Structure 1
Amino acid sequence: MENNKKFCNIPNKKEAPLFGWPWENLDSFKYLLYGPLVAKVIYAIYKGEIKNDIWCLHILILFSLRALVHQLWSIYSCMLFLNRTRRINQHGVEFNQIDAEWHWDNFLILQALVASFLYLSFPSLAKFPIWDIRGFICCLIFHIGISEPLYYWLHRLLHSSNLFHQYHWLHHSSKVLHPFTAGHATFLEHLLLCVVVGIPTLGTAFIGYGSISLMYSYLLAFDVLQCLGHCNVEVFPCHLFDNIPILKYIIRTPTYHSLHHTDMGTNFCLFMPLYDKLWKTMNTNSWDLQREISSRKTSRVPDFVFLAHVVDVMSAMHAPFVFRSFSSIPFSIKPFLFVMWPFTYMVMLVMWAKSKTFLFSFYNLRGKLFQTWAVPRFGFQYFLPFAKEGINNQIEDAILKADKLGVKVISLAALNKNEGLNGGGLLFTTKHPNLKVRVVHGNTLTAAVILHEIPQDVEEVFLTGATSKLGRAIAIHLARRKVKVLMLTLSTERFSKIQKEAPVDCQKYLVQVTKYQAAQHCKTWIIGKWATPREQYWAPSGTHFHQFVVPPVIPFRRDCTYGKLAAMKLPDDVEGLGSCEYTMGRGVVHACHAGGLVHYLEGWKHHEVGALNVDQIDVVWEAALRHGLKPL
């Protein structure tokens, strides 16, 4: 068989027969296909006759467990803080691959329907005992003697030029292996896989040795091994194969299968490399590469780090290692989150007590590695007085770790640079004056984004959080533009100090106000401090609320419009990005994240901490545009 690598990214313009799934137009409504089984089980329970339809219940339980197996492997595969040194392909899974594999579980529906059909056609087969050791022995013989070689030759056949171009290219179109990639194939291929799976299970049942435990064990073990091969993390230590050499022909390691996706003329086996050895298709680099990856102690040092934090319990479930599909779209409240809330809350307590900063996600830009680390602290914890020291210690540890590794720039997210917490990062640069890593709060670009959202013809704005770092910079910059700024603050002293920083001829544009009522005729509000519904009520109809408050205000006014937190779209040449940053769209990051990125790309050697340099706002904005970042 020839190496089909040249066909990998060339989809057939006209779909071949049995390429698509019969229910692909149903989208999420495809799960209604389980409806008859669910209805039958509910009706049997209601009638007290569940023993007569027990296999309908088993099918539902078994296929729920199979889906859980894939999900758990997905969680492990995406836990970069656990497995980053043993990742085989160092790139991240991108949005287009996630979208392509969105319906990875179609094969579970297919096999559940096939199982239901067989149950209805041969009800006597379903009268299994709980356990029969003879069945396990027979099933193993059927699998090794029939299913393994059958899969091997079917797989080689699918790699022939014609069939690969019509069908198998879809599976190989996934650039980075992931447990869900195991199910990403055409309808025809999964029909063939039904035969491969059915031979050991049905064969054992037909000769009278079937059992409930066998059905569960074989199908779950099959899925575990499929996910293992596609997990992109080498889980086996090399010394295992040195001590027991025969395992090289019994176990398909993740590295072994990954080579099939880079050199498609080799490593065709299902789970046993023995058949590649017998028919001379084993990649000669298989075990050297496995040794190299499994022995790796360090991973590539990132050039830039964004130090994020969790906002709340709900948003914690938006992490890439929880639900990959959910994290690939902007965060919003979904019904399933409420079901998981108690468990997530317990995890939060453990993280609060024990956890350290962990690697959250990464992407590549122009050959450089950019990572997001996360401090395991939730938004409300930043406002607890007794938690201040502990949070600062964790941020400091992350900065020192980045400095030790050789990271060039570390940028602090929202609450990690809170003025009351650490003075916008000034605490750390003062305490550690010899840091090589540049600490950046990114607020300069945040201010630039907000200022460029305000139309040039605006003559008056209302500003809350007016004496904060961002509020001060925005007020002075607007005053220079001859825009009247109503600064909401009770502190005349702080207001006067900011007013004196503005040019003499611009100071008159800064006006102190102490009540929201003062802005009842101003239609441009910049919210830097949480505003209640009652406070928002004072805005006239048609007002637009710009904001830099964390968390953002709740949009109560239907006759007004609300801007999102300041953000920018990453350059088009970003690679490996597959998760959204909180509520931001795909490829969009908070302005403070983008600000740190610009700091690194420009090669600036200064720290950006403490008060904002108003003169740098336009400089940073122009640099961001020059490097391909785009305003929304």
Structure 2
Amino acid sequence: MASKPGIFTEWPWQKLGSFKYVVLIPWVAESLYSYTTKGEGERDLSNVLIFPFLLWRFLHNQIWISLSRFQTARSKHTIVHKGIEFEQVDREGNWDDQILLNGTFLYLSSKFLPGASHLPFWRIDGLIITILLHAGPVEFLYYWLHRALHHHYLYNRYHSHHHSSIVTEPITSVIHPFVENLTYFVLFTIPLMTLSLSGTLSIVALAGYETYIDFMNNLGHCNFEIVPNRLFQIFPPLKYIMYTPSYHSLHHTQFRTNLALFMPIYDYIYGTVDKSSDSLYETSHKGKAVIPHVVHLTHLTTLHSIYHLRLGFASFASKPYVSSKWYLWMIWPLTWASMLLTSIFGSTFTVEMNRLDRVKMQTWAIPRNSFQYSLSWQRAAINSLIEKAILEAEAGGVKVISLGLLNQGEELNRNGEYYLQKHPKLKLRIVDGTALAVAVVLYSIPLGTKQVLLRGKLSKTGYAVALALCHKGIQVITVRRDEFEKLKLLFPAKMGSHLVLCSSYNTEIWLVGDGLTEEEQRRAPKGTRFIPFSQFPPKKVRKDCLYYTTPALKIPKALENIHSCENWLPRRVMSAWRVGGIIHALEGWDAHECGDKMLDIEEVWNAALQHGFLPVAHV
């Protein structure tokens, strides 16, 4: 919100929440009904194309959001090197309101405005008029309106809402209070209203002009320099009629310069161009390569998880991924097609960039879903992708690479040891984060606990937790003989009494791995605490029991650019395996932590606390 919100700040349908799209239903229904029931000569193609055009605007904006987030996570051409936080994502979550407003007026105009219905596909005179009217009245009036909005009275009540985002994303361009957005809409309708009343409006002019506005808005707020310098060398006057992302970025950092819409000529005429515009463009265009200290290697989980990545839908990524939204199933052909294409042609891609003190971090994703890791015929390809990522990180000067989720599987690569044996001279350190994950589990167990039940599939973390508990004198119970025998072989003889084989499920502290069944959960006593040591959380089937999150830690405030959730974890919470890699780099440790190797549990835990990572309120 603005610092002192004025009247008509809220959008008319704000209280409808996700149901706001109902405002378009009557218009869309009437449009389709009219087109299907009228005769060939009476049908209005331009009217029925309004809804597909609105969908195109949604897609166009989403492409820019994903492109911008991808580029700012990896590109050397980033302009403002600061982070975005959850507050900004929440504030900009209503970017589609302006599309609903636009759609409502298009339907009203088509029905009641002379010359706005039964439009021809193409008219050259209408296109020329549109260009002239935009370059003249629209750009000129916008410039002075924008200057007025920076007067303290209007700025405090309206425009400060837009300037809350110093580090911009493409969609920041349309984040304004309702009345301000309405003013812009009226301004942008000058060419279209003129064409309509003069009978020169066409489908191409309408769609082309609004797509141009979306394109330039997104371009100016994308926070990475994308405009080639060669364009200005070929046609020098272009700098007066087309802005660049770095040009408009200065407006969000300096506030009172570079006020023009898309054509900087008005800033030059009235003396409001920022003196550093050219130098910032040159610096951003030349760029500086980003070399992270730490790379966290993750992968996709469910098929729909691709939409919950930071590169996907921003509002989804900013919330824990619990289950797929029902409407995502409507685009299942696209989902399956993306999975097939990435499986065939895909390579590891950068998801995000973060910073903590002097340490820069990137997250890379393997383009494979969780179910593919369980397919034996996929393992060679997955190992090849992981190995390629490790070698790429090594060549890029990365110090630590942490293996997240199933990338450190025992069956896949022996907890990462496979890569170390194949490349023994690696300078970077491979970290699976087991020691910190074990520490988180151990400190999640209530004080005074005398015994725990071990269930689910045992992993490196599970074995280490069991061994550490026996060292503390806590009894570890298992109900499967094969697990009992394997654990017994690993334990020193003097601790054998702390390992018990028992068929009873009455213990109220359960340490659970993957594969915990619903039937087993129902056998647990009321009030049981399910504490996972697995990468994935168990399915919650008991309302009278307490489910802890998978091993994770709250991150310190100093960790920048966190505006997406790591899978199912809450905001500003990271998995222990990922944090393990960060701590490894912060401490400058030289050892690998993979295969059978594990760092000292207490040392890693204390280091994490010293760097500001805190335990999570698990329940």
1:110 to 101, 105, 108: 101
Q: Distance in 1 between matches of 2:120 and 2:36?
A: 25
Please list, as runs of the form range in 1=range in 2, the aligned pairs for 1:63-102 lying within 5 A after superposition.
Answer: 63-80=54-71, 84-102=75-93
Query: Equivalent residue for 2:511?
Result: 526
Please list, as runs of the form range in 1=range in 2, the aligned pairs for 1:89-238 lying within 5 A after superposition.
Answer: 89-238=80-229
What do the CA deviations read for 1:368-415 (whole angstroms, capped 9, x no partner)? 322111122221222222332322222222222222222222111121
Letter in 2 for 1:395: I
Specify the SS of the correspondent of 2:482: coil
Query: Equivalent residue for 2:602?
Result: 618
Letter in 2 for 1:552: P
Does the 8 Å CA contact 1:467/1:498 hold for their aligned counterparts? no
Query: Equivalent residue for 2:311?
Result: 321
Letter in 1 for 2:77: R
Structure 1 residue 467: Cα displacement:
5.5
Q: Distance in 2 between matches of 1:377 and 1:523?
A: 37
Does the 8 Å CA contact 2:456/2:516 hold for their aligned counterparts? no
Structure 1 residue 446: Cα displacement:
0.8
Does the 8 Å CA contact 2:484/2:500 hold for their aligned counterparts? no
What do the CA deviations read for 1:230-276 (whole angstroms, capped 9, x no partner)? 12222221122112212112211112111221222322211112222
Matched, 1:36 2:21: no
Please list, as runs of the form range in 1=range in 2, the aligned pairs for 1:235-274 lying within 5 A after superposition.
Answer: 235-274=226-265
Please list, as runs of the form range in 1=range in 2, the aligned pairs for 1:197-596 lying within 5 A after superposition.
Answer: 197-296=188-287, 298-331=288-321, 332-464=323-455, 468-487=459-478, 488-490=480-482, 494-500=486-492, 504=494, 506-512=495-501, 518-596=503-581
Does the 8 Å CA contact 1:530/1:552 hold for their aligned counterparts? no
Letter in 1 for 2:270: W
Specify the SS of the correspondent of 1:580: coil
Structure 1 residue 72: Cα displacement:
1.5
Letter in 2 for 1:623: A
Q: Distance in 1 between matches of 2:127 and 2:80?
A: 36
Specify the SS of the correspondent of 1:490: helix
Q: Distance in 2 between matches of 1:347 and 1:363?
A: 27
> How many aligned residue pairs are there?
613
Specify the SS of the correspondent of 1:429: helix
Specify the SS of the correspondent of 2:491: helix
Q: Distance in 1 between matches of 2:370 and 2:192?
A: 51
Letter in 1 for 2:12: P
Structure 1 residue 100: Cα displacement:
0.7
Change in Cα spacing, 1:466 to 1:160, as seen in structure 2 (3 Å) is closer
Larger mean CA deviation between 23-32 and 240-249 belongs to 23-32
Q: Distance in 2 between matches of 1:41 and 1:538?
A: 57
Query: Equivalent residue for 1:7?
Result: none
Change in Cα spacing, 1:342 to 1:90, as seen in structure 2 (3 Å) is farther
Q: Distance in 2 between matches of 1:605 and 1:37?
A: 65
Q: Distance in 1 between matches of 2:358 and 2:289?
A: 15
Q: Distance in 2 between matches of 1:107 and 1:631?
A: 41
Specify the SS of the correspondent of 1:530: coil
What do the CA deviations read for 1:195-248 (whole angstroms, capped 9, x no partner)? 221111101221221222211111122111111111222222112211221211
Structure 1 residue 344: Cα displacement:
2.1
Larger mean CA deviation between 238-247 and 118-127 belongs to 118-127
Letter in 1 for 2:59: L
Structure 1 residue 445: Cα displacement:
1.0
Structure 1 residue 486: Cα displacement:
1.4
What do the CA deviations read for 1:41-97 (whole angstroms, capped 9, x no partner)? 254356447946666534333323222221121121112389612222233432110
Q: Distance in 2 between matches of 1:429 and 1:57?
A: 60
Q: Distance in 1 between matches of 2:514 and 2:73?
A: 38
Q: Distance in 1 between matches of 2:512 and 2:240?
A: 64
Q: Distance in 2 between matches of 1:145 and 1:52?
A: 35
What do the CA deviations read for 1:23-51 (whole angstroms, capped 9, x no partner)? 33332232222233134225435644794
Does the 8 Å CA contact 1:425/1:439 hold for their aligned counterparts? yes
CA RMSD, Structure 1 to Structure 2 (Å): 2.4
TM-score (norm: length of structure 2): 0.93
Structure 1 residue 120: Cα displacement:
4.3
Structure 1 residue 123: Cα displacement:
4.7
TM-score (norm: length of structure 1): 0.91
Structure 1 residue 306: Cα displacement:
1.0
Change in Cα spacing, 1:125 to 1:412, as seen in structure 2 (3 Å) is closer
**How high is the sequence identity, in percent, across the aligned residues?**
37
Change in Cα spacing, 1:409 to 1:83, as seen in structure 2 (3 Å) is closer
Q: Distance in 2 between matches of 1:129 and 1:55?
A: 8
Change in Cα spacing, 1:613 to 1:265, as seen in structure 2 (3 Å) is closer
Does the 8 Å CA contact 1:97/1:174 hold for their aligned counterparts? yes
Letter in 2 for 1:507: G
Letter in 2 for 1:62: F
Structure 2's unaligned 5+ residue stretches are none
Query: Equivalent residue for 1:17?
Result: 7
Query: Equivalent residue for 1:3?
Result: none
Change in Cα spacing, 1:571 to 1:584, as seen in structure 2 (3 Å) is same
Specify the SS of the correspondent of 1:398: helix
Specify the SS of the correspondent of 1:115: helix
Query: Equivalent residue for 1:602?
Result: 587
Q: Distance in 1 between matches of 2:39 and 2:534?
A: 59
Structure 1 residue 280: Cα displacement:
2.5
Specify the SS of the correspondent of 1:436: coil
Specify the SS of the correspondent of 2:11: coil
Change in Cα spacing, 1:489 to 1:572, as seen in structure 2 (3 Å) is farther
Q: Distance in 1 between matches of 2:136 and 2:544?
A: 71
Specify the SS of the correspondent of 2:360: strand
Does the 8 Å CA contact 1:132/1:211 hold for their aligned counterparts? yes
Does the 8 Å CA contact 2:115/2:197 hold for their aligned counterparts? no
Structure 1 residue 127: Cα displacement:
4.0
